Structure formats: C-alpha cells, structure tokens
Amino acid sequence: MRWTAALSVLLLSAGRAAELPNGGFEDGPLRWAFNDHTSQVLPAAARGGRLGLRVGSLEYNPDGASVASCKLPVTPGETTTVTFAARATAACSGVYLQFTSAAGKEAPPAEPKAQLVWLPRELDGQWHDGRLSVAVPPTAAWLNLWVHSFAGSAGLNDYDDFQVSGGLAAGEPVPPVERKPRLAPEVDLSKLPPRAQPAAVILKLDDFRLVRGEVPEVWQRLATLFAQRGVQAGYGVLAESLASATPAAREWMRQQQAAGTIEFWFHGWTHQSHTVAGQACSELFKLRPEEATDLFARSQAAARLVLGQPFRTFGPPGGPSPSFDATIGATLAADPDLRVFLYPQPLDDAGRALVAASHVKILDRAWQANLESAVGVPHYRALVAGYAALPERPYFVLQGHPPMWSGGRYDEFLRILDFLVAQRVEFVTPAAYALGP
C-alpha cells in the first residue's frame, strides 16, 4: 500500500505542469540568477509579502542589471501569460519573455509582432499590475523571465509576485546559471604605466546627420567644447542628410573643417539595414558592386556640395551583420579621394591585404580601450582600465554615439575627456593622424 501511494504521488507530480519557483522572492534570491552587481532582494521592494526585487541604481550605471528566473517547460502553440507587480519612478528597466529550443537556441514567436517585453508606463512610484501574454513559439521547449535595467540608466524599479499560467508543460524547472559580468577594475591613476610618448586619440563619433537641414544641438555643443579644450575629433556623416543642408549648416560645417577642429568623414548613406535572401544586413554588407559604387559616388557628390571637398576618411555603419565585405573594400580602394579606413575591429588579414593592394591606410580598434561599454553608453572605468592595459599602443580610435548622450551619459563622457586631457594625449582627426597635416 505504501509503495502504491508513493507511486501515485510520483505519477501525479510528473504529470503536473511546472510552476515558477519563488516568483514572490519570499525565499530571497533562491532560484533566480543575479547576473549583475546592483540588483537586490529587499523588504523595501515587496508589494505585500516580506521581500521583493529591486533593480537599477540611483547613480549613473553603465553596466545595467540582469536577473533571470528558472527555465519552465512549455507547450508550443498554447498561450502563456505572465503577471507581476511593478513600481517605477523612471523608465529604466523591463520584463522580458525568453523562449529557447531544446537545444538552447532562441525560439522566435510565430507572430512577428508578439509582445515579449513589458516596460513601465506609470512612473508615479505606485504599484501597478504588469502582464504579458503570447503564444508559445513552435520551436520552444523552455520559457524564462528576464528582468533587465538598461545600461547607462539611472533609477530604481521594484518587482514582485511573478506568476506564469497557461502554456506550461509537465516537468521540473531548470535552475538558471549565474554569470556575473566582470567589472572593469578601478585603476590607481598615480600608478599608470609610463609611456615613451603621449598616445594619439582619434575620437570617432558616429551618426552625424542634419535634421531638417540644420546641425543638431548635440553636435554643436560638442564642437564648442572641443574648440575650447583644444580637442580635435571626427564626425561620421550619414551623407543622405547633406542634400537638405541650409546655408547656415553648410557654413558651420565648413568653419569647423577649416579650423581643423572637426573632420567630417563618410559613415554611410542612411545607416539603414536591408535584406538579402532573407538575411538582415548592415547598410554596406552584401551590396552588388554597382550598388556600392553608386552609393559611394552619391555620398562624395554630397560632400563636395556641402563641404567643398570629398570625404577623405571612411568608416562603415554597424547593424545586424558584419559592417562591410570585399565589395566595399574594392569600392573603397577604387575611390582616389578616400585614403583612410576607420576599421571597425582589430586589424586582420583582410585589412592587411587591402592596405598592401591600395592607397588606403587603416586605423584599427583595440577592444580593450573603448569609449562606450554598449552603444551610446560611455564608461569611464572601463576606458581607463583599457588605456592602462596598453601602454605601448601609439594610438586609440575611440568610438562614440553622441545623439544617445544625455544626462549621466554626457557627464560620463566629460569624465573620460578630463582623464584623457590629464594624460596629455594628442587629440587628432583621422586623416591628420593617418596622412599627416
């Protein structure tokens, strides 16, 4: 009888749909993976029980937050619904549904517009109900929840009482794996390795475009700052916007160029991606040779019209694929005016072959030293650590995206600029460094 009862309990358990463990955080962080250094389970973050989840930081946080639940087995085609409570005073985080296949690969929903992300809308510091409901994708075997606060944000959000209903299959939840990211170390500035001579710094600032024919204020503010501090920089131009340049915008760009403060370089036509044989491609990837030639020609014509001279430097726009290919390399080599390639990665065999076979000079990247830790997110501590780790490198190409800098992000860039100025680096435009004045 005892054996029969035990077997009955086991069979009932095996046939029961899984439940989300510790959805209300009453057991502390148990059964959740805290893959950052700021998220906490606290009494102050609870809606009704003892504990709740708090993500974010009151200070500018270039690292963001990442908290993941257990994986729950799901049944493809059925609808699953996630409910929870959220309290926010800043739009700095969200709740994501993540579906994966039995092999651990992302399982996309059958409906392309399925809502997999919840973002707070009421920023009044009060508790509100959150909800996501979606059909389980056809290739999905597992579902987990991911609470994420955005890199470069400031603010605190609280979450509690997560529940998952519908679409769940029988089986045991799989505990998440905790993978805390490495924080960039704090560097003692008094112990920076000595350099034989000051490093050169090329500020590669992407995505300059005119808006209704005018120069956006963020680019004007930076140019004024650079002129005041004796800094030179490169603005990566999306050439399509030049066609609408007002006389004032044209004059401003020519003045910056003549003063030597800013070099305007070729960063693409629109930065828009396209699709080839079902593959999403960056703007300058998998173009036909005639398409690439035409795009370069149109861009150089726009530069001559507005700047009075062609672009001398090129750097491809990023996107969902590699940013360039052999076709773009051949097109670049065929343009006698484009002499400098801001290489989007460390120098490789393809880059060396291009240099050997053409007039093009390459300025490559050093991954250790980055202006931003994520696109649009300046990171002072990481930049200093990378700079300190490369005392023999003669130059650094530091990529940034000023249209995304506001509030704490702009302040973080100023900290980086102050550090570089204190190191007596030589700020120089791409062409000036590669080709000489």
Residue type, 241: S
Which structure tokens are listed for 435?
């080709």
Beta bridge partners of 276: 279
What predicted TM-score, i.e. pTM, was given to this entire model? Answer: 0.86
d(CA 229, CA 219): 15
Residue in this structure with the two tokens 């549904």, named with its chain if needed: 97
- Do residues 372 and 401 lie in contact, with contact meaning Cβ atoms separated by under 8 Å? yes
| Residue 310, C-beta contacts closer than 8 angstroms, at least 6 positions apart | 300, 303, 304, 337, 338
- Do residues 395 and 200 lie in contact, with contact meaning Cβ atoms separated by under 8 Å? yes
pLDDT above 60: residue 90: yes
Model pLDDT for residues 93-150, shown as the tens digit of each residue: 999 999 999 999 999 998 888 899 999 999 999 999 999 999 999 999 999 999 999 9
- Do residues 33 and 179 lie in contact, with contact meaning Cβ atoms separated by under 8 Å? yes
- Do residues 54 and 160 lie in contact, with contact meaning Cβ atoms separated by under 8 Å? no
pLDDT at 181: 79
- Comma-separated ranges of CATH 2.60.120.260 domains in the chain: 16-165
pLDDT at 218: 97
The domain 196-435 having CATH identifier 3.20.20.370: the answer here is: yes
pLDDT above 90: residue 16: no
d(CA 241, CA 341): 22
pLDDT at 76: 97
pLDDT above 80: residue 5: no
- Do residues 56 and 91 lie in contact, with contact meaning Cβ atoms separated by under 8 Å? no
Indicate the SS3 state at residue 289.
helix
Which structure tokens are listed for 320?
């969902």
DSSP H stretches of helix in 390-428:
408-422
| Residue 345, C-beta contacts closer than 8 angstroms, at least 6 positions apart | 364, 365, 367
In this structure, are strands 426-427 and 52-61 parallel, antiparallel, or unpaired?
A: unpaired
- Comma-separated ranges of CATH 3.20.20.370 domains in the chain: 196-435
- Cα 355 to Cα 297, 332, 364, 366: the distances in Å are 21, 11, 12, 18
* Average pLDDT over every residue of 225-254: 97
Q: pLDDT class for 15, splitting at 50, 70, 90?
A: low
* Average pLDDT over every residue of 336-364: 97
pLDDT above 90: residue 287: yes
Percent over 70 (pLDDT), the chain: 96
- Phi and psi of 377, rounded to 5°? -120, 90
CATH architecture of the domain with residue range 16-165: Sandwich (2.60)
